[in-house]
């Protein structure tokens, strides 16, 4: 009887280990990866906004170089590794989002009496 109970417990432990290694570990890796990506996106947005305010009179290439170096330092400190292409995508997305938000406050008014309209 003890041998049967021992074999049942052994099988249950083996199935539990299989389930953990098959489903739980990849899910945790995916979750941690998503958190790191969200952190990188947040810092990219902050870096773009900072560059826009601090380097407002410089060109786009100078701003991008500044943002890239700033992000590399921050992400390295947070132990997040991204390729240069991934950084470029994050920076471009943050710039696009910033421009959309800037243009969201623009109000276009129509003028009924335009000069030369009904003369």
**Does residue 117 register a pLDDT over 50?**
no
**Does residue 21 register a pLDDT over 80?**
no
What pTM did the predictor assign? Answer: 0.62
Q: Residue 109 — very low, low, confident or very high, per pLDDT cuts 50/70/90?
A: low
Indicate the range of 20-29, 47-56, 77-86 predicted with least confidence: 20-29
The residue among 22 and 1 whose pLDDT is bigger is 22
* Phi, psi (degrees; rounded to nearest 5) at 77: -65, -30
The mean pLDDT of 80-90, rounded to a whole number, is: 85
Residue 77, pLDDT score: 92
In the chain, pLDDT over 70 holds for what percent of residues? Answer: 81
Site of tokens 């989002």: 97
**Does residue 73 register a pLDDT over 90?**
yes
Average pLDDT in the chain: 80
């Amino acid at each position: 009887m003890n041998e049967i109970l021992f074999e049942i417990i052994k099988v249950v432990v083996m199935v539990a280990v299989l389930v953990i290694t098959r489903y739980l570990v990849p899910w945790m890796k995916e979750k941690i990866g998503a958190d790191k990506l969200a952190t990188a996106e947040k810092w990219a947005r902050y870096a773009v906004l900072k560059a826009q305010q601090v380097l407002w009179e410089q060109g786009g290439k100078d701003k991008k170089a500044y943002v890239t170096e700033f992000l590399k330092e921050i992400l390295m400190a947070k132990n997040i590794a991204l390729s240069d292409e991934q950084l470029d995508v994050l920076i471009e997305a943050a710039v696009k989002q910033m421009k959309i938000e800037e243009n969201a406050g623009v109000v276009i008014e129509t003028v009924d009496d335009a000069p030369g309209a009904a003369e």
